[in-house]
Homo-oligomer: A and B are copies of this chain.
Amino acid sequence: MGEFELIRHYFMPLARSLGSHSVLVGPGDDCAIQRIPAGSDLVFSIDTLVEGVHFPLNYRPDYLGWRALAVAASDLAAMGADPACFTLALTLPEVDECWLRDFAFGLGKAAEAFGLVLAGGDTTRGPLALSLQVHGLVPQSTGIRRSGAGPGDLVVVSGTLGDAGAALEYLDVQNPSADQAFVLERYHHPEPKLKLGAALRNLATAAIDVSDGLLADLGHILEASSVGANIERSRLPVSPALNRLTGSAAGDFALHSGDDYELCLTIPEANWAIVPSSLKQQLTVIGVIESEQGLRLDGAAVVSESEAVGFDHFRRIS
Contact = CB atoms under 8 A, between A and B. Distances in A.
Interface string A120-143: 111111110101010010101001
Nearest to A87: B46
Contacts of A35: 41-42, 140
A70 interface: no
A31 interface: yes
Given A30-B146, A41-B24, A125-B50, A89 B89 contact: yes
Interface stretch (A106-114, A152-160, A272-280, A306-314): A306-314
Interface residues of A, number: 71
A265 to B, nearest CB: 12
A126 B53 contact: yes
Contacts of A51: 126
A20 interface: no
Contact of A79 (B4, B30, B147, B207): B30
Nearest to A141: B24
Number of copies: 2
A147 B79 CA distance: 36
B50 A124 contact: yes
Interface in A35-74: 35-36, 38, 41-54
9 contacts: A25-B145, A30-B146, A31-B136, A33-B138, A36-B42, A44-B119, A46-B131, A50-B91, A54-B124
